[in-house]
Every structure is written in structure tokens, then in C-alpha cells.
Amino acid sequence: MLSGRVAAVTGSTSGIGLAIAEALAAAGADVALNGFGDPSPALEAVRAHGTKALHLPADMGNAAEAASFVAETLRHFGRLDILVNNAGIQHVAAIEDFPPEAWDRVLAINLSAAFHTIRAAVPPMKARGWGRILNIASAHGLVASPFKAAYVAAKHGLLGLTKTVALELAETAITVNAICPGYVRTPLVDGQIADQAKVHGLPEDQVVRDIILAAQPSKRFIAPEHLGALAVFLASEAASGITGAALPVDGGWTAR
């Protein structure tokens, strides 16, 4: 379905980004991976689908490096068809204790990086006359929770960026959409469970039951591979009429 396409996925050495990279590769796309840690397992997982993959170590917290991720993908593969802005971090603290440097870092990685990659990716997509931009936001792009000021602000901002660029590109064949997952059990959520346990003084299993999944009516974590399947659909021709959308995959969370 996506053979001949090239995808670039930020933050794809782990979690949701890796699941999306694998799903795009399984659909036939070559993939530029990005993210911290040893990239070998992610590269192997993606290459197992028979497509090409490389890893580019850009720090999405740095504007120039975020833009260079797109430039390096273009240099290596000669094209970029599908950009997935997925890299993200969390910091959990009450507003009066929220460290300003944590605010800056969350905003830089979860919001500004998408501005820098999109700004770099749109000219080559326009030149080819086709493109797909997917921003991995969150249910927290649509609703808030306490103690997550920077994350909630960044994800709400990411939906604003998604809608604005979608409108700017609406007459082209480039679509821009956001996926808004509820809780997915990844290293990022494991970190939040530990942080919330500290903030509330509760054991971790009670945090999962009474705090994390309390927001999610299904009472089940979202499967990363289901987000991969949605990314493949949004990258397909069948989704060419969907742009500027924020699609919740949240077990009913934002239906409340």
C-alpha cells in the first residue's frame, strides 16, 4: 500500500513511534528512525518487514537538529512522503513546583519540534505534490488533567498547529492530522505511573487502577499496533479527504 514511500518518524526507538514505524514498514514504506537509546533493536524490527531503515540521532529538543532530521532523511532517501511527529516526554508536578526548565523541554520536544520538522518537510512535499503529516498528540490535546501543565499545553498547541497547517495545505494533496491516544503502556507511561505514585503517595498498582485507567472508560490500555494501523490508514489514498482532524483513540476518555 505504501511501497515506494519514505516515512520519517521522530522518537521511534521505543513505544508508539516504533509501532508506527513498524506498521508503515509492513505496508511497504522505507523509514528514517529517530530517538535515544540503542537503535539496533528498532532497526532490526523495522528491517524485518523487508524495507530500508536508518536511524538518525537528532535531539528533537533542539530546533536545528529537528529540522536536520528532515534534511538528512531527504539526503539519504531522496524523498520524504510521510512525516510522523511522535517524540514526546512528560513531566508531572504541581504548577507551583513545576521547574521552568522542564516546561521549556516539554514544549520544545512535544510542540516546537513538530513546527521545525513540518516547516522543513512542506517544501519537498509540495514539490512532489503529495504528503502526509501525522502529529501524535494525546487525549491531553483535547482535555486536561492536573499536574501536567506543560504536556497538556504542548498537546493542545500541537492540535492548533495541525489545524493551521492543514488549512494552509488544504488545496494540495498533503494532509495534516493528529492522533490523540489515551493511555498506552509504554516506557513513558511507566514513568508517569512512578511519578504519580510519588505525588499521591500510593502504590503503583493502585495508581494504574484508580488514577491512570480511571480516565479511560474501557479500563484497558490502547495497543500500540492499533495506532500503527491508524497511521497506515491516514497515510493511504483512502484517507485523502481527512485533514485537520484530531482523531481520539482513547477507549472513550474524551466522550465524557
Return residues touching ligand NAD (CB under 6 A). Answer: 10-17, 34-37, 59-61, 86-89, 109-110, 136, 138, 181, 183-184, 186-189
The rounded distance, in Å, linking the Cα atoms of 36 and 168 is: 32
Q: Based on CB atoms, which residue is closest to ligand NAD, 34 or 196?
A: 34
The rounded distance, in Å, linking the Cα atoms of 60 and 72 is: 14
Q: Is 151 a known active-site residue?
A: yes
Closest Cα partner for 22 from 12, 37, 34? Answer: 12
Q: Based on CB atoms, which residue is closest to ligand NAD, 52 or 55?
A: 55
The rounded distance, in Å, linking the Cα atoms of 65 and 86 is: 15
CB of residue 16 to ligand NAD, shortest distance in Å: 4
CB of residue 172 to ligand NAD, shortest distance in Å: 26
**Active-site pick, 77, 151, 183, 253:** 151
CB atoms within 10 A of CB 28: 15
**Which residues have a Cβ under 8 Å from the Cβ of 215 and sit 6 or more positions away?**
139, 145, 182, 183, 253
The rounded distance, in Å, linking the Cα atoms of 229 and 20 is: 8
**β-strand partners of 246:** 178
- Asked if 40 and 66 count as a contact pair (C-beta separation under 8 A), the reply is no
The rounded distance, in Å, linking the Cα atoms of 113 and 64 is: 9
> CA–CA distance from 213 to each of 94, 206, 208, 209, 219 (Å)?
20, 10, 6, 6, 5
Q: Based on CB atoms, which residue is closest to ligand NAD, 17 or 228?
A: 17
CB of residue 230 to ligand NAD, shortest distance in Å: 13
The 3-state DSSP class for residue 176 equals strand
**β-strand partners of 50:** none
CB of residue 9 to ligand NAD, shortest distance in Å: 9
CB of residue 22 to ligand NAD, shortest distance in Å: 12
CB of residue 188 to ligand NAD, shortest distance in Å: 3
The cell numbers describing 61, all together, are 529538543
Q: Based on CB atoms, which residue is closest to ligand NAD, 214 or 238?
A: 214
Q: Based on CB atoms, which residue is closest to ligand NAD, 38 or 97?
A: 38
Length of the chain: 256
Q: Based on CB atoms, which residue is closest to ligand NAD, 10 or 175?
A: 10
| Residues marked as catalytic | 151
